[in-house]
Amino acid sequence: MSLTTEHSKSRLGTVRDPAINKLRPDSRRPRDMGLGRFYVRQVAATALPLLAVDVAVMLFCLLFSHGIMSTRFVSLPELTANATCLAVAGLVGTRWVFRLYPAIGMHPAVELKETTTSTLFFVVSASAMYSALRGFSLAVALMVLLCSTGLLIGLPVARFVARYWLAKTRFWGLRCLVVGGNHERLLSRRKRWVANMGYRIVGYVDYAHDEWSRQQEVHSDWPYLGAVTESSEICKGYRASTVIVTDRDVSRFRDQIRHSVMVPRVQVVFCHNALPCVWTRMDSVGGFSSASLENHLTIRKNLLLKRLMDVILVSIGGLVLLPAFGVIAVLIRISSPGSIFYSQNRVGQYGRHFRAWKFRTMVPNADDVLEDYLAKHPELRAEWNRDKKLKRDPRVTWIGRILRKTSLDELPQLWNVLVNDMSLVGPRPIPVYEERAYGDIHKAYALVLPGITGMWQISGRNNTSYGERIDLDKYYVRNWSLWLDLYILMRTVKTVAFGEGAY
């Protein structure tokens, strides 16, 4: 296949992503495939910026903590250039061992776990070596404590921000070719997430570019580049060092991989949403490939740690936010007559029903107001039936809009967490009448406590459809771990701060 055919030229002009628009076939045709060279370069271009960010955070924390402690302790040793370089090299080496370079395709929760574990390992090892060589020093111990605290907070945050901005550049990430007809459903809707994880899609190939494929292409961010049989040639022309197989038809996997045999990296996307993905790893059983699926909900120790984390954070947060409760209560009283709080029966752990509490954000006769409004605006009934929400809800008071925008209306649920009806992180506390919608996943859903925040809140909130919310709850239950909870808590801060998907 010639990569300069009229079709390829015309289709490349339709790509809407500016970063992808500049991905052109390589006109310098090498003597051999040469994809191994490109793969190494792309891995290096992906790893080096992340490494630079880590070094910058390390230097800042080290210099800042030494500067602070040197004003308190005269006995603090001088921070020499050799000691600084040794500390930075130790941190980078530890993070490399923990697979944090280039960390392509690593889920954010896994990256948070590896970042935290590698940092603690480095700090403990470096402290032990220093104590063995120089002896214990209170000044040094306090400096290490301050520096390690900064690293534990700064490294995950800095990497999250770095991935967001690097994903918008032309050079960062692996160039990938998508193989199979389900690329639109599986990847296009998660375009930003795919880019943040280090993948730059140059286009897709399929078995037949028929009328259905052309219709799909109109709505795609990536161009159709040819048939599956031409995958290797297309990868060479576009310097795509990775092939991502997304076809639902398992019988065609072998054929697709065979046509990509000269590509350095081939990834198979399992299209079945029922499979866990965050903590899944590939193993070998009797010489055959196998996927190990871990269910952390069966480990009681993890659930006890989750409960301990809830109690500690809620106890501290409740005391800090106590003045805010009083201010909000007064504003609700001023905005409209009625009670300050609102409660509704929700489904909890093991199917037990409980009353979930919120600050009241609606007028007292909310149901009547909604029916009258939908009667006057029948075009909005479809939106209500689909999402169970309205962007311009007439029932919400002026203070209610502010509370919902900032998620402050959910603060009373801290009480639900304290009495073990809810958790800080979990699936949505669904109303009793929604139980049927969860189908076969309801048994797994009932194993965990519903949460104040969760996958839904950090994945678009009110901009997601009702079906997507259910899918996000299923995703959380199947992939639950303490690290996923911590990641969701971190993302919730960003979501609330920027008011993402709130109305």
Written as one string, the DSSP assignment of 327-338 is: HHHHHHHHHSSS
198 with 329, same domain?
no
Average of pLDDT values for 374-393? 76
Residue 222 one-letter amino acid:
W
Type of residue at 381: R
Average pLDDT over residues 98-107: 93
Domain boundary among 166, 181, 198: 166
Q: Which of 252-256, 293-297, 478-482 is predicted most confidently?
A: 478-482
Same domain, 221 and 123: no
Q: Over range 363-387, report the average pLDDT.
A: 79
Per-residue pLDDT at 292: 78
Tell me which of 150, 166, 182 is where a domain ends: 166
SS3 451: strand
Per-residue pLDDT, averaged over 49-77, amounts to 89
As a whole-number percent, the residues of the chain with pLDDT over 90 amount to: 37
**Spatial distance between the Cα atoms of 230 and 223, rounded to a whole number of angstroms:** 15
Q: Which CATH number fits the domain that encloses residue 207? A: 3.40.50.720
Among 99, 132, 166, residue at a domain's last position: 166
Clarify whether residues 229 and 103 are in a common domain: no
Q: What does the alpha-carbon distance between residue 444 and residue 480 come to, in Å, rounded to a whole number?
A: 11
Whether 242 and 256 share a structural domain: yes
Q: Amino acid identity, residue 235?
A: C
Per-residue model confidence (pLDDT) at position 19 = 45
Q: Which comes out higher in pLDDT, residue 134 or 114? A: 114
CA distance 368 to 347: 25
Determine contact, residues 483/109, Cβ cutoff 8 Å: yes
Looking at the structure, do residues 323 and 422 belong to the same domain, yes or no? yes
pLDDT in tens, 439-490: 666 777 777 899 999 988 888 766 677 777 778 888 888 888 999 999 999 9
Q: What is the pLDDT of residue 29?
A: 47
pLDDT at 244 over 80: yes
- Does residue 339 share a domain with residue 264? no
Q: Are strands 199-206 and 224-227 parallel, antiparallel or unpaired?
A: parallel
Q: Distance between CA atoms of 268 and 253, rounded to whole angstroms? A: 8
Domain count, the chain: 3
Read off the pLDDT of residues 130-152 as tens digits, 9 standing for 90 and up: 899 888 888 889 999 999 999 99
Do residues 356 and 413 make contact, with C-beta atoms less than 8 angstroms apart?
yes
**pLDDT at position 259:** 62
Q: Is 403:324 a contact under the CB 8 Å cutoff? A: no
Residues 305, 351 within the same domain:
yes
The pLDDT > 70 percentage for the chain reads 82
Asked whether residue 137 is assigned to any structural domain, the reply reads yes
**Cα separation of 360 and 343, whole Å?**
9
**388: left (phi > 0), else alpha (psi -120 to 50), else beta?**
left
Q: Is 179 a member of any domain?
A: yes
Decide: pTM greater than 0.75.
yes
**Which residues span the domain enclosing 70?**
44-166
Instruction: Evaluate whether residue 117 is within a structural domain.
Output: yes
Residue 460 lies in a domain: yes
Among 237-241, 349-353, 462-466, the least confident range: 462-466
**Residue 386 counted as domain residue:** no
Is 14 within a domain? Answer: yes
Are the C-beta atoms of 382 and 362 separated by less than 8 Å? no
- Strand pairing class (353-359; 341-347): antiparallel
* Residue 259 maps to a domain: yes
